[in-house]
Amino acid sequence: QFYQVAHNFLPSDGVATYVNTGNWSTKAIAEARRYGGVQVAASSEDAQFSYIPSEAGWDVAEDSVYLHYTSNNTIFGTQYRTEPTVSMPLVCDASSDFLSRPLDLDRYGLIYAGAQKNIGPAGATVVLVRDDFLQTRRADLPTMMDYGTHAAKLFNTPPVFAVYMVEKVLRWLDDLGGIPAIQVVNQQKADLLYGRIDRTAFYSGTARADSRSLMNVTFRLPSAELDAQFIAEAKANHLLNLKGYRTVGGIRASIYNACPMEAVEALVSFMDDFEAANG
């Protein structure tokens, strides 16, 4: 989607503003440059993407056709606390925190989100696009890549199983009380886990405190050896997929909507035991 957005909405003589907060932002910027002007308002690359640059310091091109941001960064465990307040329409890659908290939809031209975190199985992507923003797309797009094609009708054979599962997930979320209800649970899960990390010096969070993600909690132990031992022993205790992304190492606990509080409690309990034995 990130290249498709630029292909549709960034004219060759126009400019779009991007905020660079990680791998996906970096890729989105590189693809957008093929189509038109790109201004990078801010980047946290100087500190291994460990924080979300404060909006007060952004250098936004005022004539931007949109401002693109990545609301949550799975690899680095960072997340925007608040939505940007710029004057142009927002375009958001919400792949890893969509449906985890309410969004102020009036600010957005387009939101895209791969299903595989909070929405359903891999193989579908949700796109929300505002009618008046859609009208600003360029002409002569390849039919399949034109958001107008898909807004108008079902053009291609859809990934039926993925869509079926998305419907199940949405009903589950609705029965739970919807996004406001899951937001409360997500905050509780994150508070519990970050609280444990901060309680002693044995564990240290890798994201700056004001930029911590409620979806992906990244932290380290005192050494890479202890990181590896932690991951191995956690696995033996049925706590899986805790290894940090290969380029950054450390520990990453992904606590998406589908992750219950009990799983976070089990992880925290294991962290207590592991520190008692190795701290």
Residue 27 touching a second copy (CB under 8 A): yes
Q: Taking the complex as a whole, how short is the minimal distance between the CB of residue 155 and a second copy, in angstroms?
A: 10
Q: How far apart are CA 84 and CA 160, in angstroms?
A: 35
Written as six digits, the tokens of 98 are: 């969509």
The string over 254-278, giving b where at least 16 C-beta atoms fall within 10 Å of a residue's C-beta and e elsewhere, is bbbbebeeeebeebbebbeebbeee
118 and 256 in contact (C-beta within 8 Å)? yes
93 is catalytic: yes
Name the nearest CA neighbour of 169 among 120, 215, 116. 120
Residue 68 touching a second copy (CB under 8 A): no
Question: Which string of x and - marks every residue 149-188 that binds a second copy (by CB under 8 A)?
Answer: --------xxxxxx--------------------------
Residue 123 touching a second copy (CB under 8 A): yes
Subset of 28-67 contacting a second copy (CB under 8 A): 30-31, 34
Q: How many CB atoms are closer than 10 A to CB 53?
A: 17
Residue 83 touching a second copy (CB under 8 A): no
Q: Taking the complex as a whole, how short is the minimal distance between the CB of residue 272 and a second copy, in angstroms?
A: 33
The string over 59-80, giving b where at least 16 C-beta atoms fall within 10 Å of a residue's C-beta and e elsewhere, is ebbeebbbbbbbbbbbbbbbbb
Catalytic residue among 97, 117, 146, 189, which?
117
C-alpha distance from residue 208 to each of 55, 221, 227, 252 (Å): 15, 16, 20, 15
Catalytic residue among 13, 59, 63, 93, which?
93
Question: Which string of x and - marks every residue 90-119 that binds a second copy (by CB under 8 A)?
Answer: ------------------------x-x---
Q: Which sequence positions are flagged as catalytic? A: 24, 93, 117
Return residues touching a second copy (CB under 8 A): 3, 7, 27, 30-31, 34, 114, 116, 121-124, 140, 142-145, 157-162
